[in-house]
Amino acid sequence: MTWSDRNVVVTGGAGFLGRVVCAKLAERGCTRIAVPRRAKYDLTTEAGVAKMYDDFQPEIVLHLAAEVGGIGINREKPGRFFYANMAMGLHLVEQARLRGIEKFVHVGTVCAYPKFSPVPFNEDDLWNGYPEETNAPYGIAKKSIFVMLDAYKLQYGMKSVVVVPVNLYGPGDNFDPGSSHVVPALIRKCVEAKEARLPSIVGWGTGAASREFLYVDDAADGILAAAERMDEPTPINLGTGREIRIKDLVELIARETGFEGQIVWDGSKPDGQPRRCLDTARAEQMLGWRAKIGFEDGVRRTVAWYESHIASRAA
C-alpha cells in the first residue's frame, strides 16, 4: 500500500503518539493527512463522527484517539473512560462501513489483557479472563472494537487492522501529574525533587510489579507497518518483549535525572496488574517489525527532552 495518493485521517493525531505517526506518514509521501480536533469534532457522538467523515472524505482511518491515563485517573473516571472509548470506536467503525472506506486501523491497548494472563502475553489469550480492575473499563471498551471489526469483516468484508501496543513513552509525552503514565510521572517527580533538593520521593505500591515499555517512534513504525501489510483484524502485539520491575524503573530514572534522594514506597497505593510483557513474535512474523530503541536509551532521550522543555518554558 502506498500513502501518497490517499486521504488519511488520524484521530488523536495532535497527541503524543499521533504527532509521531503523522510525521512518519509525511516521510512516506502522504500529503493529505487530516487531524480532527475535539473542539470541532466530538468523536464520542454519531453527529461529530459523521461531520468529520463528510469534511475529510478519508480513504484510510488510523484510530489513535483515546481518553486514557495512569492508575489514579482510571480509578477516578472509569465510567467516562468506558463511555468515551467505546463510543468513539463504535461510531467511527460504523460510519466507516457506511462510507465504504478502504481500511480502518484500530490501536488497542495492553490493558485489554486478562489480569493473570500468562507472561509473555500472547494474542490468543486476550479473552481468557478479566482485565486488571483499575483499568478494566478502558481496556474492555477498546477490546470491544476488536470484536466489532471482526464481525464487520465477516459480514461486510470491511478491511481493518488491530494492533495492541504496550505502555508507550518518549519525548512529547504527557507529564501532567494528574493523568500521566508511570514513566513521564516519575521523570517529572525526580526532576522536581532534585531541583527542590528534597530528601525523598514516594512511589506508588510496593515496586514489585513489572511493566514493559515501547518507545513512541517504534510504536508509530509498528502501526504503519500493520496498516501497510494487514487487511484483517488479527490482533498484533507491539512491544519489546522485555519487562522491568517498577522498583528498578524508579532507580533507573533517578540515575538518569540525577536525583540522589531516597525512594519511599507507599504500600497503600495499588500496584496495578502484577506483570506486563508481550509476546511479539506475531509482529515480527506478519509485519517484519521489531522495536529498535533500547529502554535505557529511550529513557535518556525522554529525560533530555523533558529537561530542555522545562528550561525553554522557564526562559
34 neighbors 58 (Cβ within 8 angstroms): yes
> What CA–CA distance (Å, rounded) separates 202 from 190?
10
Largest CA distance in the chain: 62
Active-site residue identified among 41, 53, 113, 138 = 138
One-letter amino acid of 300:
R
- Give whole-number Cα distances, 257 to 180, 204, 248, 299, in Å: 18, 19, 14, 10
Q: What distance lies between CA 97 and its chain's CA centroid?
A: 25
> What CA–CA distance (Å, rounded) separates 212 from 168?
9
One-letter amino acid of 140:
I
Which residue in 229, 240, 278 sits closest to 113, CA to CA?
Answer: 278
> What CA–CA distance (Å, rounded) separates 67 from 106?
14
> What CA–CA distance (Å, rounded) separates 153 from 77?
32
**SS3 label, residue 133:** helix
Q: What sign results for the dihedral spanned by CA atoms 246, 252, 256, 260? A: positive
Residue 138 annotated to the active site: yes
> What CA–CA distance (Å, rounded) separates 167 from 163?
13
Cell of 122: 500472547
Pairing between β-strand 60-63 and β-strand 33-34 as defined by DSSP bridges: unpaired
Helix axes 216-229, 16-27, angle to 10 degrees: 60
Paired residues of 204 in beta bridges:
266
Catalytic machinery residues:
138
